Amino acid sequence: MDILTLELLDVTVSQALTELSRALEQHPGLPLRVLLNGEETILHNLLRFLERQQRKVTSTPIGSRWQLEVDATPKAAPALHPLPTQVVSSAATSRPLLLLRSAFVPGDRALGRRLLLGTLRAIEPPTPWLALAHEALELLEDPQALEVLAGIRASGVPVRISKDSLTFMRLDPGPFEAMEDREWQSLAARGGLILL
């Protein structure tokens, strides 16, 4: 079986992600071998990117470098019957939002936080709800972010906080609703929510 090899030795995080994305788009059915210098930040970002792409990956340290073995994407099963075409209102197609980070990354964290809060300010009904989990709970300790979250809730969009994340970080949900993680995890597993 052919294996595509991608060497990302002297690149920035952004360049590495761009090259990896391009390789996956141009050769979607091939397994991929990625060679990296020992830069942990690039490794971490590539692993997260591949996880979001639902690609199985194995990372192995080789001297001062890393080797990633990325499995070929599973082929989608063909549809047995064509689905009927129908018009659905935007209200019916709105999906809940899940926020896992407290700033857009990579890049400058202050700018990433400002851009994230600007995106959150644009949330409005008919969005079913916004959930915060994992590192996004850092927003609960930021007065400006709390003001934005309160505005979202006041607009009619519930703001919900992961119970497991609250327990792990020993935080209180404050004025927001604590939610069972199974609910958002189930939706995430079948593409039923938007990940910010």
All domains in the chain, ordered by first residue: 4-70 (3.30.1370.110), 93-195 (3.40.1260)
Alpha-carbon distance of 27 to 29, in angstroms, equals 6
Confidence class for position 28, pLDDT limits 50, 70, 90:
confident
Q: What local confidence, expressed as pLDDT, does residue 149 receive?
A: 93
Is residue 24 within 8 Å of residue 52, measured between CB atoms?
no
Q: What local confidence, expressed as pLDDT, does residue 183 receive?
A: 93
Confidence class for position 85, pLDDT limits 50, 70, 90:
very low
Query: Greater confidence, 178 or 22?
Result: 178
* Spatial CB neighbours of 156, under 8 Å, sequence gap ≥ 6: 124, 125
Give the Å distances, CA to CA, from 143 to 53, 101, 147.
34, 16, 6
For residue 43, is pLDDT > 80? Answer: yes
For residue 5, is pLDDT > 70? Answer: yes
Confidence class for position 74, pLDDT limits 50, 70, 90:
low
∠ Cα 3 6 12 (to 5°)? 160
Q: Tens of pLDDT along 88-133?
A: 433 445 899 999 999 988 888 889 999 999 999 998 889 899 999 9
For residue 32, is pLDDT > 60? Answer: yes
Confidence class for position 147, pLDDT limits 50, 70, 90:
very high
